[in-house]
Amino acid sequence: GLPNMGDIDKQAIGGALGTATHGSGPKLGAYHTQLETLQFVDGTGKLREYSRAGDQDMIHATGVALGAFGILTEVTMNNMPTYRLRRRKWVLPIAEMLKDFETMMAAHRSAEFYYIPFSGYAQFIASDLSDAATTARPTEEDEAGLATLRKLRTALAWLPSLRRRLILGAIAKLPAEDYVQDWLNVYASDRQTKFNEMEYHLPFEEGPKALAEIIELTEKRFPEVYFPMEVRSVAPDEFWLSPFHKRLTCSIAIHHDAANDPEPFMRAAEPIFRKYGGRPHWGKMHSLKAADFKKLYPRWDDAMAVRRDIDPENRFVSPYMASLFGTDT
């Protein structure tokens, strides 16, 4: 099985690798860190094959490629025997969560939490290896919870104290979860409500400060926001275009209902992420261009040189990708 997963399992493996898709865990890397071999067709039609054993630099250069280095045709990934996880969920004050952030995130194989806007509370989720017999996974309440938060937002956006009180009442009714299941039945969640998302990957130690500022921004200026904010950790790696390149990472994701314009909220939040050295998720909203990435990625120039060699005529560079790479289409 996969050593780790994100909470969405609908991606193609090529897209998940190419955008550095990840789960959570301070000792667990993103999907691309499992690469042993990869094969792709380059911009000249040549089939290229690289292995970690013989071509480690090229694996690191092309493992996170945004689909712009070639057409991925085959990969070998280093997985692990199937396993079980004990998953637990509980609620705690966000002030306590931020104070004990490093300790709590490090205490479990995989840990993450969601801050519920305008509540003052977070939901912590811990997953650890288990040899116990499987137990029933509780019915997912995520969509019902979002519906409740949306209704309270709509009715009470300009009455924050009453909104907070009613949200706390809803939180108090949430059952604490504690179950054991095979790994494939634990990580992923059903997502039906459409949303726009921005996720930035920051130095781990900067996470609590950045999140505190994002919460303050949201609750002062954006009463329409009701989606929980997701906070995870990711192990460092050596891949040249990986947002986790050479640093333990805290990933913070903010969400906005797709029925409304996300731009004002995202524009206001992004400078906070950038102030703390954040690198944006390749597959989510951000406004950065080539000059910005050059400052954020130590091996940026090396990666671009490899890309030019692999695709000299820019066959795989769309106008959007050209804005990221600083090249012509």
Starting at the edge strand found earlier in the chain, the sheet holding 71-77 runs: 47-51, 35-41, 71-77
Alpha carbon distance 259, 270 (integer Å): 21
For residue 59, what pLDDT is reported?
Answer: 98
Q: Position 175: which residue type?
A: P
Q: Residue 230 pairs with which residues in a beta bridge? A: 114, 253
What lies within 8 Å, CB to CB, of 313 at 6+ separation is 43, 44
Alpha carbon distance 215, 254 (integer Å): 10
For residue 51, what pLDDT is reported?
Answer: 97
Going through the chain in order, the beta strands assigned E by DSSP cover: 35-41, 47-51, 71-77, 84-93, 110-116, 121-129, 177-182, 195-203, 229-234, 249-257, 279-280
SS3 8: coil
What lies within 8 Å, CB to CB, of 292 at 6+ separation is none
For residue 28, what pLDDT is reported?
Answer: 98
Q: 83 and 129 in contact (C-beta within 8 Å)?
A: yes
Starting at the edge strand found earlier in the chain, the sheet holding 229-234 runs: 177-182, 84-93, 121-129, 110-116, 229-234, 249-257, 195-203, 279-280
For residue 322, what pLDDT is reported?
Answer: 95
User: 18 — alpha (psi -120 to 50), left (phi > 0) or beta?
Assistant: alpha
> Which single residue is written with the structure tokens 């997953």?
127
Mean pLDDT for back-to-back runs of 10 residues, the chain (329 residues): 91 94 98 98 97 96 96 97 97 97 98 96 97 92 80 81 86 85 92 93 99 98 95 99 99 96 98 99 97 98 97 95 87
For residue 329, what pLDDT is reported?
Answer: 60
Go through the domains of the chain in sequence order and give each one's CATH number.
13-81+288-325 (3.30.465.10), 84-280 (3.40.462.10)
Contacts 24+ apart (CB under 8 A), 174-178: 174/91, 174/123, 174/141, 174/145, 175/138, 176/88, 176/89, 176/90, 176/91, 177/87, 177/88, 177/89, 177/138, 178/86, 178/87, 178/88, 178/89
Q: Position 220: which residue type?
A: K
